[in-house]
Amino acid sequence: MSDVGHLTATSASLTFPERPPTSVPSLDVVVNGHRVWSIDLVSKPARRARRSHRWPEPLVPYLDGTATITVRDSVSGRTLWATDVALGTSLAAIAVVDDHGRHLAVNKWGRLGRSFEGDATGLRVRILDRLDELLEITREIGLRPFVVGGTLLGAVREGTVLSHDDDADLAYLSEHTHPADLALESFGIERELTGRGLEVLRHSAAHLQVTFRTPDGAVDGYVDLFTAFFKDGYINQPFHVRGRMESASMLPFSTVTLEGRSYPAPARPADWLVINYDENWHTPLPGYRLHTPRATVRRFQNWFGTPNFQHEFWEDSYSDGAAHADGPQRAHLLHDLVAPGSQVLDLGTGLGRDAISLAGLGHRVIALDYSAAALRRARDADRAGAVQWRPTNLVDPRQTADLLELVGAAEAPVHALASHLVERMGDLGRANVWRLLRQVVRRGGVVVLVMDTVPAANVSFDDPTTWHLEVPDLQQELGRFGLHLLDVRRLDDDPRDHERGTVSARLVEASKEGDW
């Protein structure tokens, strides 16, 4: 294809020959026939004035090979500019796909994900079938469900599933208003769903996600289940929606049609969509990014918590084909201190190499992580099947309570290894870990920590592997729990250890005269 209007593409950026027409609200960037990215020109007007746009970071690793790159109007599909390019060193055609060959695009979170438009396996129908299933269950248990988010938007604006969407969104209108009552209600709903065999991921005390998988265990899709409630004249739907609304805008529910199926919806759907998105919800904007006001973020986090802090990062890091390495094995640091055949907890196991090594040394190992992708790869690597792999979110006090019971009920001391866990999970989550490990040491167990004490040169909030904790700060934090670091020593198993000031230490009870 000859250049159309001299579109220029490099491995770093796209440069248009001119500013996009004012009549175009959104641009799709298409690589070898598949949309990989969209640029919203309405919500971010400054983008219209720019001719050059850097590729989103998640796309960069894929830009090695040959491609026909097309920029088109998201609404009409009309091609504005196109060019043939060879990027990087590969002679193969560029394909932005996952490990299963499924097409990916940058989604509303700025991450690569599947979308309905890139699927040829019937995902759209399967997701709607699962939405119908969850809708029926929520009705059976006495809830008032209704569709929200992209599911509602697609139904109202087009009558079809949004092609750039990747899941279904369902909420229920609660009669409660107090955060504690709402949380208890949500926990009860979670028990109902898991009791029916569904896989449920908790994002907060007011947000559940039901995960569906293919027969081989790969994620096939999600249906989000949000809590919605009125309080002080505001409608609330954590994590994003909060705005003034009259009850008449919500009840009685109306009915919308999506792909020929009927679903309950707010009485006046447009009122909800303005709060969820903005006044431009009528205009198709595949590149639209949700912006939640800081006050709303703080309110919902304080009311309902964030137990899945950085979960998406770890899922991406451990996803099939992701080039993630956990670093040197640290199993020997614990093995050398405990009796043969001990019961061991490997907290934040990641790819499970330490857990597998400890099991190979004769210990009875329970390995814990909240990343399903990590545990799937760890199980595959555990050819002897010697490790008990346990999905556990250590930020959730209900789940750490189960571990406290396990430690307390054990006939012999239980020991624990936490390698690069505590510096990568945030201070709110660490409090639960310290309570768990305090029980371990009080019962005579040995706890070994490994952590980085120097930040990475490219430290970023978005990448927990670049974070650090300094020993004096951690000692002060531990003092509030009656704990103390002992035998702190620098490690040199790997050049990275030197760069990041990696240390190991034992966790012990503080002396009676100390900071307890």
pLDDT digits (tens, 9 = 90+) for 120-161: 899 999 999 999 999 999 999 999 999 999 999 999 999 999
Across 454-479, average pLDDT: 96
| Residue of 455, 452, 476 lying closest to 466 (CA atoms) | 455
Query: Dihedrals φ, ψ of 184, to 5°?
Result: -60, -40
Cite the residue boundaries of each domain of the chain with CATH code 2.60.40: 5-114
Here the tokens at position 118 are 């890139």
Q: What is the pLDDT of residues 376-386, one digit of tens each?
A: 999 999 999 99
Contact 64, 23 (CB under 8 A): no
Q: Name the more confident of 3 and 268.
A: 268
pLDDT band at 323 (very low <50, low <70, confident <90, very high): low
Here the tokens at position 397 are 């006090």
pTM over 0.85: yes
Cite the residue boundaries of each domain of the chain with CATH code 3.30.460.40: 123-304
The whole-angstrom separation of Cα 203 and Cα 262 is 28
pLDDT band at 2 (very low <50, low <70, confident <90, very high): very low
Residue 5 is which amino acid? G
| % of the chain exceeding 70 in pLDDT | 97
pLDDT band at 324 (very low <50, low <70, confident <90, very high): low
Residue 62 has pLDDT above 70, yes or no: yes
The whole-angstrom separation of Cα 58 and Cα 28 is 16
Task: Please name the residues in contact with 7: beta carbons below 8 A apart, sequence gap of 6 or more.
Answer: 14, 15, 16, 17, 69, 71, 81, 82, 83
Residue 328 has pLDDT above 90, yes or no: no
What CA–CA distances, in Å, run from 86 to 89, 178, 426, 435?
Answer: 8, 58, 42, 55
Across 336-355, average pLDDT: 97
Q: Where are the alpha helices (DSSP H) in 206-307?
A: 269-276, 294-304
For 311-509, CATH number out of 3.30.450.90, 3.40.50.620, 3.30.1370.60, 3.40.50.150 equals 3.40.50.150
Residue 274 has pLDDT above 90, yes or no: yes
Q: CATH code for 123-304?
A: 3.30.460.40
Q: Where are the alpha helices (DSSP H) in 236-386?
A: 269-276, 294-304, 311-318, 331-335, 353-360, 372-381
Residue 5 has pLDDT above 70, yes or no: no
| Residue of 462, 469, 333 lying closest to 57 (CA atoms) | 462
Residue 290 has pLDDT above 50, yes or no: yes
Cite the residue boundaries of each domain of the chain with CATH code 3.40.50.150: 311-509
Residue whose tokens read 């043939």: 84
Q: Name the more confident of 131 and 108.
A: 131
What CA–CA distances, in Å, run from 9 to 74, 220, 385?
Answer: 19, 33, 49
Domain 5-114 bears CATH identifier 1.10.287: no
